[in-house]
Structures are given as C-alpha cells and as structure tokens.
Amino acid sequence: EDQVTQSPEALRLQEGESSSLNCSYTVSGLRGLFWYRQDPGKGPEFLFTLYSAGEEKEKERLKATLTKKESFLHITAPKPEDSATYLCAVQQGYGGSQGNLIFGKGTKLSVKP
C-alpha cells in the first residue's frame, strides 16, 4: 500500500536554529514529490516539486532534497513567520491513480523568537 510518513509530528525551534523535516514514502513508481506549507484554517500553499533522486530545490530559507526513499525539507536560520504545518505528498507513476496526491500527516513547526 502506498504510504507517506512524516517525522517528527511536531518540532519546536528557537529563531535561527536550523533543522530538517523528514518525509519517507513507499509508492509504486514516483511521478513527483511535493512539499506544501499550511497555515491554520487555510489551504495548503505549494512550495516545491521534486521528480528524481538527487534533485534539490531552494526557496529563501527552505531547501528540499530527494532520495529514492525519502525527502528532507531543510530550514536554515528559521524565523517565527516560518511557523506552520509542512505537508509532503507523492503522486504515483505506474498504475493506480494518475491524478491524486497522497499526503502525509504533516509536521507542525513552531519557531520561537
């Protein structure tokens, strides 16, 4: 069964304290891996798409990397405004659904000043 597991469930950091969030996945052929940010009461906001192992994407203080089994979202010198839930999702490449994303439960990040 296709699965996406994110860890940790919650992460509390001090402002400036760098860390990483993990997303491990099992899927029958990966078409793409996506990272989203979600603020309370709002819809997910698209951050990155990764397509193949070894690929990296960066945006401000965030950097996403991908291996054959997992993805990491590295946060460098976070600020309080980075506080949010970060969601990882995958899309299958072979058989199964060609449309939907399979999401993990997310990592809730809190950055204290």
Partner 1 sequence: DTGVSQDPRHKITKRGQNVTFRCDPISEHNRLYWYRQTLGQGPEFLTYFQNEAQLEKSRLLSDRFSAERPKGSFSTLEIQRTEQGDSAMYLCASSSPFRGRPTYEQYFGPGTRLTVT
- Round to whole Å and give the CA distance between 67 and 96: 22
Q: Give the angle subtended at the CA of 3 by the CAs of 58 and 51, to the nearest 5°.
A: 35
Q: Which of 68, 87, 62 is nearest to 25 (CA)?
A: 68
Contact range with partner 1 by CB under 8 A, out of 14-22, 35-43, 55-63, 66-74: 35-43
Range 68-107, binding partner 1 (CB under 8 A): 87, 89, 91, 93, 97-106
Q: Decide whether 18 or 97 has the Cβ nearer to partner 1.
A: 97
Residues that bind partner 1 (CB under 8 A): 4, 31-32, 34, 36, 41-46, 49, 51, 87, 89, 91, 93, 97-106
